[in-house]
């Protein structure tokens, strides 16, 4: 049986694909700085990570679908479990609350602080926000063309 694809799933994939193709991945020095700030540990669960391991990921604090970008200060080091299986596109604070609920206040504070300190260094300029909103405008245009094409394809009654 074919996998059902809804228009909203397809639109989500389109937005991700446009972003992945049009926006370069973080530069080597940015990746280096992220590993250094997080001392080679998962920002969420503190698991030790090794470079070139498939278990080490870069997680977007603000997800692409929420208007996040590849700026180094929007990226944190994350293990594959926290990034790929648990957090997904949820807000990082909500995820970290849950992840650290059994830890001492001191440990929780330090875990939140390590991420916040990093995120605070983002250059949150009006210019950056403008570019993100222009990107979202382009995605909206792609979605609108997509809807028209789907309608015309349906009319063919294949």
% helix / strand / coil in the chain, to the nearest 5?
60, 10, 35
Residue nearer to Zn ion on the CB measure, 11 or 47: 47
Query: In sequence order, which residues have a C-beta less than 8 Å from that of residue 38 and are 6 or more positions away?
Result: 76, 77, 114, 118
Residue 79 CB, nearest distance to Zn ion (Å)? 3
Residue nearer to Zn ion on the CB measure, 44 or 135: 44
Residue 123 CB, nearest distance to Zn ion (Å)? 27
Number of residues written out for the chain: 158
Residue 44 CB, nearest distance to Zn ion (Å)? 5
**For binding to Zn ion (CB under 5 A), which residues are involved?**
42, 44-45, 47, 79, 82
Rg (CA), the chain: 19
Residue nearer to Zn ion on the CB measure, 19 or 95: 95
Residue nearer to Zn ion on the CB measure, 15 or 79: 79
Helix (H, G, I), strand (E, B) or coil at 66: helix
**How many other C-beta atoms can be found within 10 angstroms of the C-beta atom of residue 54?**
6
Residue nearer to Zn ion on the CB measure, 12 or 63: 63
By the 10 Å C-beta count (0-12 exposed, 13-18 middle, 19+ buried), 156 is classed as: exposed
Residue 78 CB, nearest distance to Zn ion (Å)? 6
Residue 82 CB, nearest distance to Zn ion (Å)? 3
Structure tokens at 145: 């063309």
């Amino acid at each position: 049986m074919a996998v059902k694809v809804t228009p909203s799933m397809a639109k989500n994939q389109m937005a991700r694909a446009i972003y992945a193709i049009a926006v370069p991945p973080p530069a080597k020095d940015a990746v280096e700085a992220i590993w250094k700030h997080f001392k080679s540990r998962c920002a969420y669960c503190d698991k030790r990570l090794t470079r070139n391991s498939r278990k080490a990921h870069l997680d977007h604090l603000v997800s692409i679908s929420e208007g996040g970008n590849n700026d180094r200060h929007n990226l944190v080091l994350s293990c594959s479990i926290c990034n790929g299986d648990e957090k997904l596109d949820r807000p990082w604070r909500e995820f970290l609350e849950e992840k650290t609920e059994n830890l001492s206040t001191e440990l929780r504070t330090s875990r939140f602080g390590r991420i916040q300190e990093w995120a605070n260094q983002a250059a949150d300029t009006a210019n950056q926000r403008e570019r993100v909103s222009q990107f979202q405008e382009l995605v909206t245009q792609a979605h609108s063309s997509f809807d028209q094409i789907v309608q015309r394809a349906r009319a063919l009654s294949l």
